Structure 1
Amino acid sequence: MSHELIALTMFASMMVLLLTGQRVFAAIGFVASIMVLLLYGNGGIEIPFSATFKLFNWIPMLTLPLFIYMGYVLSEAGIAEDLYKMLHVWMGRMGGGLAIGTIFLMVIISAMNGLSVAGMAIGATIALPEMLRRGYDKVLITGVVQGGSSLGILVPPSVVMVLFAMIARQPVSQLWLAGLVPGLLMAGLFVIYVQLRVKMNPSLAPVLSDEELNIPMSEKLKLLSAGIIPFAIFFLMTGLFVMGITSLVESAAVGATSATVAAILKGRFSFKMMHETAKKTLGISCMFLWLILAALAFGAVFDGIGAVRAIENLFINNWQLTPWQVIIMMQISFVVMGMFLDDTAMLVIVAPLYVPLVKTLDLGFENQMIWFGVLYTMTCQIAYITPPFGYNLFLMRAMAPKEISLTDIYRSIWPFVAMMTFTIALVMIFPQIALWLPELVRN
């Protein structure tokens, strides 16, 4: 059997198992284990075993549970809810102010959590009912919450970027810095879109009444203090890291400790809260760990049979594609797969094929693996909100108020998909949008 046919068999077997509803890590790990035994005999089991210990020896992996814990503490302690109340009072006089404030809230939650789940939960359960009660258009605000929550995987500290860094063997800190400017650019486009829509049709987002907003300045200042804690945690965590005072893992520990102290100072620390936080952190961390182990094992076997070199020969020599045409093909495949798979499943499927191939391409600039990691993460954002199986679509359907239908959810996402696609195109045309900040900090 040729290497090309073996590679095709591995991918086909994996996709069949995924379609049967098996867990992603189980399907990928099973195919890797069976193929290595068939190809190399009993001694071949050393290949995935070695990949496993590479992961256990990689110190930055410790950041994963720490950042997940930090996000859940801030959510369970109600600090994110306090933050929304502050935005409600301070931005309510602006046309579409609550929708714009929700986008800012999502950016802050992203910086605290690194996952889209927390932002979606807070937006759907807190922001949506409040805006609906005040007469906001349900399609507009549904799109705002879904698009804003997807920023969680791009704005640092991003858990998805940690996964990419583990599999592609790239520095997490460089990936985080590379994602910051594109993430803020995308959030800025969302704000401009909301402002333009409201300016053309003010009925989409009525200004709040004077009764709701005429509160004493002392109360406003008290609410303003709600925003100090998340910002202080974020800047303490990232500032110490950028200044070189703490390492990556130490920075994650600072964030986790700061979140716990904040919960204690707010008087919301309890055994029940810690129990829920620990349980959710353990569940999410274990899920990601099993996925990474399966991906590394699959990648080791896939690379061992020379399939990556065969694909490279097909694209470059046989089809004579330019490096940029190869990148565009990869992006198109991400968008297609993202309609059916979540970001982690997509990463573990394509990483064994795409990561080694990108390293061989001559795109005309340095740090192209960091740049490619940002492109992948941005495409995952589209995967979160595109039918038929967009992850955030199902979360929104489960958590949104009853008056928001599935049709409203589907109608709401397309302007945000267009803005995300536009941002991806900008980063592809101008790579320095992503690479400028990492180079500045490194130098």
Structure 2
Amino acid sequence: MSYEMIALLMFSTLMLMLLTGQRVFGAVGFVAAAASLLLWGNGGFEMPFNASIVLLNWYPMLTLPLFIYMGYMLSESGIASDLYRMFHVWMGPLNGGLAIGTILLMVAISAMNGLSVAGMAIGTSIALPEMLKRGYDKRMVTGVIQAGSSLGIMVPPSIVLVLYGMIARQPVSQLWMAGVFPGLLLAAMFIIYITIRCKMQPDLGPSLPAEERDMERGEKIRLLGAGILPLVIIFSVTGLFVMGVTSLVESSAVGAAAATIAALLKGRLTRKVMDTTLHQTLCVSCMFMWIILAALCFGAVFDGLGAVHAIESLFLDTWGLSPWGVLIMMQVSYIIMGMFLDDTAMLVIVAPLYIPLIKSLGFNPIWYGVLYTITCQIAYMTPPFGYNLFLMKAMAPKDISLVDIYSSIIPFVILMCLGLGVVMVFPELALWLPQTYYAK
């Protein structure tokens, strides 16, 4: 059997196991370990062990549980709820103001958390009831929350970019910086769309009633204080890191400590909050570590098979694609896979093939990491099995149907595709900040 057929058999087996509902790390690790044993006999035992040693020796892995802890602490202690109250009061008088405030809230949560699911949980529990109660269109509301929560995997400290950096062997610090402007670009595009749409159709996002807007200016100023604490936490993580005061691992530790101190100062550091935060941190961290371990083993098998060269030959020689044609084909394949798989599964499956190919074609792997992440955001909201679609259905009220959720994301998916095209045409949007910073 040729190496190409072995690679195809591995992929088909992996996809079959994933479609039967197996856990991602279990399916990937099993296929990788079984293939290494069948191909190289007893020597194949070394691959999983080597992968585990690589994982345990990689110092930046310490950032993963610390950032996850920080996000859950801010969520469970209610600091994110205080921030939404501020946006509620200050943005409410505008048509679509609460929707705009929700996008701003998601950007802030992304900068404190790095996970899409955290933004989704906070958005559906805090923002969704408030907007529905005030007459916002349910399709507008669900679309806003899904699109806004997807920013969690783009804005630093993005956990997805950390995973990409680990698997692609790229510096996480540069990936974070590369995600700043594209993430803000997408947020700005969402806000502009909401503003224009609600200006044309005010019934989609009515302004707050006059009685809710009548508030002492001093009270409004006091509410701004709710936004100061999250900004301090964001600065403690990304600001100190960009200034060179802290390293990547140190910034994650500072962020975790800052979140804990903030909860303590607010009088919300209860036993229940701590128990829930630690339990969720342990669960999510272990899941990610098993996935990375399986991905490293899977990638080692593919390196041994020479499958990267086979894919390169298929794209360039057999199909005659240009380098840009290959790049577009990769993004299309991510979107198709995203209809059925989550971002980590996609990365594990195709990273061993695509990342070496990207380097051989002369593209910057840092820039490609941003393209991958934007494509994941699109895939999160693409039917039939987009990750955010089912999260929204699980968390939304019963009167919001799956048809409502599917239709709500259409304009935002179009905006994300447009944003992806802009970053592809203008790589400087992603590369200028890391190149400028490290040039100094």
TM-score range, shorter chain: over 0.9
Deviant stretches of 4+, over 4 Å:
none
Q: Describe the SS at the equivalent of 1:93.
A: coil
2:113 and 2:73 map into 1 onto residues whose CA distance is 9
> Identity of paired residues, percent?
67
1:318 and 1:409 map into 2 onto residues whose CA distance is 41
Amino acid at match of 1:412: S
Q: Describe the SS at the equivalent of 2:340.
A: coil
2:397 and 2:230 map into 1 onto residues whose CA distance is 27
Is the CA contact (8 Å cut-off) linking 1:87 and 1:98 kept in structure 2?
yes
Match of 1:283 in 2: 283
Note if 1:271 corresponds to 2:271: yes
Is the CA contact (8 Å cut-off) linking 1:77 and 1:269 kept in structure 2?
yes
Amino acid at match of 1:146: Q
CA apart distance, 1:403: 2.6
CA apart distance, 1:44: 1.6
Match of 1:6 in 2: 6
Match of 2:183 in 1: 183
Amino acid at match of 1:91: M
Amino acid at match of 1:362: G
Note if 1:82 corresponds to 2:87: no
Match of 2:384 in 1: 388
1:16 and 1:405 map into 2 onto residues whose CA distance is 30
1:437 is matched with which residue: 417, 430, 433?
A: 433
2:85 and 2:362 map into 1 onto residues whose CA distance is 50
Amino acid at match of 1:437: L
For residues 15-164 of structure 1, the aligned pairs below 5 Å read: 15-164=15-164
CA apart distance, 1:278: 0.3
1:83 and 1:362 map into 2 onto residues whose CA distance is 43
1:273 and 1:164 map into 2 onto residues whose CA distance is 30
1:362 and 1:235 map into 2 onto residues whose CA distance is 35
2:333 and 2:223 map into 1 onto residues whose CA distance is 46
1:219-239, Cα deviation, whole Å (9 max, x unpaired): 212211111111111012211
Q: Describe the SS at the equivalent of 2:409.
A: helix
1:78-132, Cα deviation, whole Å (9 max, x unpaired): 0000111111111111111111000000000111110011111111111011011
More displaced 10-residue stretch of structure 1: 195-204 or 67-76: 195-204
2:44 and 2:400 map into 1 onto residues whose CA distance is 53
Match of 1:293 in 2: 293
1:372 and 1:126 map into 2 onto residues whose CA distance is 34
Amino acid at match of 1:411: S
CA apart distance, 1:415: 0.3
Q: Describe the SS at the equivalent of 1:246.
A: coil
1:379-436, Cα deviation, whole Å (9 max, x unpaired): 0001111111111111111111233221111110010000000000011111111111
Match of 1:416 in 2: 412
Is the CA contact (8 Å cut-off) linking 1:75 and 1:118 kept in structure 2?
yes
2:156 and 2:296 map into 1 onto residues whose CA distance is 24
1:19-66, Cα deviation, whole Å (9 max, x unpaired): 211111111110111111111111221122112211111111111110
**How many aligned positions are there?**
439
Q: Describe the SS at the equivalent of 1:41.
A: helix
Match of 2:348 in 1: 348
2:140 and 2:314 map into 1 onto residues whose CA distance is 45
Amino acid at match of 1:283: C
2:348 and 2:423 map into 1 onto residues whose CA distance is 23
1:207 and 1:311 map into 2 onto residues whose CA distance is 54
More displaced 10-residue stretch of structure 1: 264-273 or 313-322: 313-322
1:398 and 1:9 map into 2 onto residues whose CA distance is 35
2:319 and 2:409 map into 1 onto residues whose CA distance is 36
CA apart distance, 1:240: 1.2
1:169 and 1:34 map into 2 onto residues whose CA distance is 25
CA apart distance, 1:316: 2.0
Note if 1:254 corresponds to 2:250: no
For residues 319-334 of structure 1, the aligned pairs below 5 Å read: 319-334=319-334
CA RMSD of aligned residues (A): 0.9
1:314 and 1:87 map into 2 onto residues whose CA distance is 51
Amino acid at match of 2:434: P
Q: Describe the SS at the equivalent of 1:73.
A: helix
More displaced 10-residue stretch of structure 1: 406-415 or 309-318: 309-318
1:329-360, Cα deviation, whole Å (9 max, x unpaired): 10110110011111011110011111111110
Is the CA contact (8 Å cut-off) linking 1:154 and 1:180 kept in structure 2?
yes
Match of 2:302 in 1: 302
Match of 1:400 in 2: 396
1:400 and 1:330 map into 2 onto residues whose CA distance is 33
Match of 1:317 in 2: 317
1:228-266, Cα deviation, whole Å (9 max, x unpaired): 111111012211111111110000000000000000000
Is the CA contact (8 Å cut-off) linking 1:24 and 1:291 kept in structure 2?
yes
Q: Describe the SS at the equivalent of 1:126.
A: helix
2:423 is matched with which residue: 419, 427, 434?
A: 427
CA apart distance, 1:372: 0.5
CA apart distance, 1:150: 0.3
Question: What TM-score do you get using the length of structure 2 for normalisation?
Answer: 0.98
Amino acid at match of 1:8: L
Is the CA contact (8 Å cut-off) linking 1:128 and 1:401 kept in structure 2?
no
Question: What TM-score do you get using the length of structure 1 for normalisation?
Answer: 0.98
2:335 and 2:91 map into 1 onto residues whose CA distance is 35
Is the CA contact (8 Å cut-off) linking 1:48 and 1:301 kept in structure 2?
no
1:281 and 1:430 map into 2 onto residues whose CA distance is 37
Match of 1:168 in 2: 168
CA apart distance, 1:303: 0.9
1:263-308, Cα deviation, whole Å (9 max, x unpaired): 0000000111100000000000111111111111010011111111
Match of 1:370 in 2: 366
Amino acid at match of 2:346: M
